[in-house]
Amino acid sequence: MLAAITSATLLGVEGHRVVVEVHVSSALPSFTIVGLPDEVCREARDRVRAAVLSSGFSWPSKKVTVNLAPSSQRKVGAGLDLAIAVGILVADDLIGADAVAEFGFVGELGLDGSLRPVAGIAPMVAALGAVRAVVPVASRHEAEVISEFGVVVGRTLRDVVEALKGQAPWPTPPADDYVEEIVEVPDLADVRGQPLARQALEVAAAGGHHVLFVGPPGSGKTMLAQRMPGLLPPLTPQVSLVATMVHSAAGVRLPSSALITRAPFRAPHHTSSIVALVGGGTASLRPGEISLAHGGVLFLDELGEFSPAVLDGLRQPLEEGVVRVARARASATLPAQFLLVAATNPCPCGGGAPGSCECDDGARSRYLRRLSGPLLDRFDLRVPVHRPEVDELLVGEGGESSLVVAERVARARGVAHERNGCLNAAIPATLLDALAPLEAAAQQLLRTELERDRLTGRGYHRVRRVARTLADLDALGDEVVRERHVVMALQFRVRLSPLLRGRAA
């Protein structure tokens, strides 16, 4: 007897529809799975057999062949367990073939027949097609976020079989499992002093400018970076859905509403591998940290300690907003549109006030060489951060809260979108004169900087974009970029070259 069951597998952040074909014939009893299953998927043989038996059904003492079609595509993970089990029961005539035609099945089976959630429920449900999705109870919200054709749940294989046969209704999940989580987002009001760095955060959030904090240990670089997501507006429905898919595919815990609506904040450690950051570690090409940061903030602390290969791997995604991961058997395009926030010491010893650095020339230039080059070029804002004075810590005011700043940020983003159709960081150099005209004094200032060789051609365009954002943040709503905006933008370009430290030496 033959059965065909709809299920799905995962590649990158996309689900792919899989038809599980089960053939049961009179021959020597055996159980084989074909159609490019990966290791976990192949082990379904043992899980499914145990689950079927412990759910109180009999196992056909015949030759059982399972084909996962299309057979040229690799199937990964345990998400096909449920579909295989149902397929066998259909082929063995325990369930009618008609009963399963309108359903797609995704879920892992325990040996006791219980249904367990798997990574990537959301993209897989999306790929099922025009059928109702049968998923584990714990994955209900995740599936509902995406499904257009309805979702039903089961706690065990027995639940599912009984519901399919019409012997019992589909189980209703407890209604009270939905609690709004209160997520503690660090507030900008906690930051004492540091007016320059606060302004930099605001500019970065409003213009989508990548920012690099340069300062000695203990100057609050990490604290500042953690406050960035609080300044960003909530995700648009589109971005929110993509972010949810990415988190689901990576198996990262979702909020209880299952939909990611706030800007994510990812802070991988500097020992992270290139695969962990960029993605593609497993056969399913699991999304990396940069994809998990989609729509939000990727924070790289101790930028210089990351391996050069990892940092080089960031360049293409930074440019294109997506990362293309290709392996011999498969390739995937993963979303990776994030705001890069990085922090570094100015030199191995941490630096500080002029004259306090103790590094020798070799050590300093080796340290900076790891940072230098094309990656540093991506940062519109290179902000010097200093250890706050004792006075600042004790008597300094907390300053504005994230809420107040976020309001200004949202308004400036609106202004920019209306004018450019994109954030200021993405304005093409050719359109700068039209979108960010300079007043005469500002023009003169930039000319002097260029003549004195303190600004490169590329740096010039970056300063103009940042100045545009500063102008947008000004309450006046000026169309022209003023001198004060350019002066301020120039403060966000600390120099990181070992040889250009002093005026005379």
Partner 1 sequence: MSELPEEAFAAALAGLDRMTVNRLNVLLNQVTPRDAFAIAVGEARPIGLASQLFAIDGLATAWRQSAAVRSPERVWDECCRHGISVLVRGMPGYPEPLLHDPSPAAVLFVLGDLGRITARRAGIIGTRNATGSGRDTATTLGRDLAAAGVHVVSGLARGVDGCAHRGSLSVADGAAPLAVVASGLDVVYPREHAHLWRQVAEHGAVVSEAPPGTLPEAYRFPLRNRILAALSEVLVVIESRARGGSLITVNEARDRGILVMAVPGALRNRAAEGTNALVRDGCPVVIDVDDVLVGLGLDSRRAGGVAYDPRPRPRGSDVEFVDLLCEPRTLDQLVLLTGHSLVDCAMVMARLESNGWVHQVNGWFERVGDAT
Contact residues for partner 1, defined by CB under 8 A: 193-197, 199, 214-215, 346, 351-358, 361, 384-386, 388-389, 391-392, 396, 445, 448, 483-484, 487-488, 490-491, 494-495, 499, 501-505
Do the beta carbons of residue 319 and residue 277 sit within 8 Å? no
Question: What is the CB neighbour count within 10 angstroms for residue 395?
Answer: 10
Residue type, 91: A
d(CA 85, CA 71): 19
Q: Specify burial of residue 44 (Cβ count, 10 A radius: 0-12, 13-18, 19+).
A: buried
Which residue has tokens 């089960």? Answer: 22
Closest CA to 207 of 455, 489, 460: 489
Closest CA to 263 of 298, 311, 215: 298
d(CA 222, CA 85): 49
Residue closer to partner 1 (CB basis): 180 or 361? 361
Residue closer to partner 1 (CB basis): 312 or 483? 483
Least Å distance, CB 149 to partner 1, is 55
Least Å distance, CB 222 to partner 1, is 17
For residue 110, the 8-state DSSP code is: -
Least Å distance, CB 461 to partner 1, is 20
Residue closer to partner 1 (CB basis): 4 or 357? 357
Residue type, 153: V
Least Å distance, CB 437 to partner 1, is 20
d(CA 103, CA 189): 51
SS (H, E, C) 119-146: CCHHHHHHHCCCCEEEEEHHHHHHHHHH
Interior/surface letters 303-326, b for 16+ CB within 10 angstroms, e for the rest:
bbebeeebbebbeebbeeebbbbe
Least Å distance, CB 491 to partner 1, is 5
Least Å distance, CB 237 to partner 1, is 36
Least Å distance, CB 338 to partner 1, is 26
Residue closer to partner 1 (CB basis): 165 or 447? 447
Residue closer to partner 1 (CB basis): 429 or 499? 499
Residue closer to partner 1 (CB basis): 194 or 240? 194
Least Å distance, CB 383 to partner 1, is 8
Closest CA to 126 of 287, 6, 16: 16
Residue closer to partner 1 (CB basis): 322 or 445? 445
Least Å distance, CB 130 to partner 1, is 58
Least Å distance, CB 353 to partner 1, is 5
Residue closer to partner 1 (CB basis): 179 or 353? 353
Question: What is the CB neighbour count within 10 angstroms for residue 418?
Answer: 8
Residue closer to partner 1 (CB basis): 271 or 448? 448
d(CA 478, CA 49): 71
Helix (H, G, I), strand (E, B) or coil at 196: helix
Residue closer to partner 1 (CB basis): 4 or 494? 494
Do the beta carbons of residue 304 and residue 344 sit within 8 Å? yes
First to last CA, the chain: 86
